[in-house]
Amino acid sequence: MRLTTKGRFAVTAMVDLATRSGKGPVTLAGISERQKISLSYLEQLFGKLRRNNVVASVRGPGGGYCLARPANKISMVDIITAVDEALDATQCGTKGNCDNGKPCMTHDLWFGLNEAIHEYLSKINLQQLVDGQTSRNGADMPASIMMAKHDSSERVPA
């Protein structure tokens, strides 16, 4: 998987925006300052988010950005794919031509990982991340996120 800074910053900026939604448009300068993300980088990301109907822009004095739809209707997949982030662990772009036109020996493994990542990220919505910010220790964190954290911490005996 190639989840890079682009996807991480887009999700972080969207959580910042969503936590301030309902108080009017949020400026990119404000997000930049709070999250320590370059303003020019945010401009690029929010241009893509706007074109993909994840955010809406408000022009003029007091302008900025707001969510294009309710936070519980925006999944992590929506955000990550909107900024052109690839969610692909295969070498072939899921085409199955990784070994001289045929699937390589591990193609099914990486393809299955792609599906699991996509499924997980599609189940997590922006509102869940906003709600999770209310408690740093995870007491109020949504069950789907807590389960993922718990499952990833389990180790298989050697």
- What the chain holds in terms of domains, given with CATH numbers, is 5-86 (1.10.10.10)
Query: In the chain, pLDDT over 70 holds for what percent of residues?
Result: 82
Residue 53 CB: number of other CB atoms within 10 A? 12
Question: Which residue is it, tokens 């004095």?
Answer: 61
> Could you read off the pLDDT of 55-89 as tens digits, one per residue?
999 998 889 999 999 999 999 999 999 997 777 77
- The answer, as to whether pTM is greater than 0.85, is no
Phi-psi label, residue 58: left if phi above 0, alpha if psi -120 to 50, beta otherwise? beta
Question: Which residues, 6+ apart, have CB-to-CB distance to 32 below 8 Å?
Answer: 38, 39, 42
Where does the pLDDT of residue 144 fall: very low under 50, low under 70, confident under 90, or very high at 90 and above?
A: low
Where does the pLDDT of residue 154 fall: very low under 50, low under 70, confident under 90, or very high at 90 and above?
A: very low
Average pLDDT, the chain: 84
What is the predicted pLDDT for the residue at 93?
74
Compare 26 and 98 and report the one with higher pLDDT: 26
